[in-house]
Amino acid sequence: MITDNFKFDSVESGLCRIYYRDGKDLFCYMEEMRGQFYLYICTPSGEPSHTVGFHEKIMDTEHPDFSLTCSLTTRFVEWLLKQQLKVLGAMLASKSDTPNQKASLKSLEFTEGQYKDAKSLANDLEAKGLDHTFLDHGRSIWVYWADLEAV
């Protein structure tokens, strides 16, 4: 079972694995086909054992350390962002049925010097109970959120 302690651990680009730790448990997102990743629980030595569902934690999955930039991490972040946007889209679709309201996906990009502003926006969205994701890409920070507007 994956908990809130699911944190980035390391990258093994030669084996196409991006490792995460959850307490004592080791997991890895492994690239099965170019740009397609699956989440595995791993043995203590780091070998993938079997796949586990990632959908429940996809919004909370941290991006890899951007000082480790390589083609694998770039493909993983692109895949992860697509998965997170799918989840936000599904949230929007479920909220679109609300009478007199229209759901939309919004986003803002911040530069690395605006980290506090981006984090403040994410905290405001959290306080309002709006579904959102905070993506720190190193040089730029994106905040995506699902918003409901009166019609």
Q: What pLDDT digit, counting tens, does each position of 79-88 carry?
A: 887 787 777 7
Helix intervals (H) in the chain: 71-95, 115-127
**pLDDT score for 79:** 85
Q: Give the mean model confidence (pLDDT) for residues 19-41.
A: 90
Strand order in the sheet with 140-150: 101-111, 140-150, 132-136
Cα distance between residue 16 and residue 34, in whole Å: 10
Q: Does residue 136 carry a pLDDT above 80? A: no
Whether 34 and 75 have beta carbons less than 8 Å apart is answered as yes
* Identity of the highest mean pLDDT range in 6-10, 37-41, 75-79, 127-131: 37-41
Q: Does residue 150 carry a pLDDT above 80? A: no
**pLDDT score for 96:** 55
